[in-house]
Amino acid sequence: MSSSVLALYRRITRWPLGHWLFSRAVCLKAPYFATIAPRFVALEPGRCVVRIRDRRRVHNHIGTVHAIALCNLAELSAGVMTDATLPPALRWIPRGMTVAYLKKAVGPMLAEATAGSLPAMATEGCALPVQVRVTDASGDAVCEATIEMWVSPRRKT
């Protein structure tokens, strides 16, 4: 059974402007991510690709993409990928992030979040590390992040 976010992505991206509509829907649910104006490129269980354009509002004082904009991009792609990957009986929340800035981030950015298989989970939950690689237009990595997602069973209501 697929998650509701994955089902929405699959349904809405068949339409003209579907990727834009899906991106807007995600930002309505989590408004802070609208600050980077993301555009979802691909979403499937275990993988999510999101891009941001090179625009002044994500720049720092030296004209490159700000480190926190890169972190927002990494967290967004990791979170949506996790949501699309987990079965509906599970929930998640980011618990920590380790980031390495590898070179100046200039131009449009593309983040790809991937995760291995979900570890055997105890009844209280487990950690799921999500790897995110952010690349520039030439395909060079500018940032790599590992985001630890805490995965646990949903409470029965």
Tell me which residue range forms the domain holding 93.
4-153
Q: Which residues contact 142 (CB under 8 A, 6 or more apart)?
A: 65, 70, 101, 102, 103, 104, 105, 109, 134, 135, 136
Q: What is the per-residue pLDDT for 120?
A: 67
Nearest to 60 by CA among 44, 49, 71: 71
Report the percentage of the chain scoring pLDDT > 90: 85
Confidence of residue 1 (pLDDT cuts 50, 70, 90): very low
Average pLDDT over residues 67-76: 97
Tell me how many domains the chain contains: 1
Q: What is the per-residue pLDDT for 7?
A: 94
Cross-strand partners of 65: 59
CA dist 151 and 149 (Å) reads 6
Q: What is the pLDDT of residues 73-122, one digit of tens each?
A: 999 999 999 999 998 889 999 999 999 999 999 999 999 999 977 766 65
Report the percentage of the chain scoring pLDDT > 70: 95
- CATH code for the domain in which residue 126 is found: 3.10.129.10
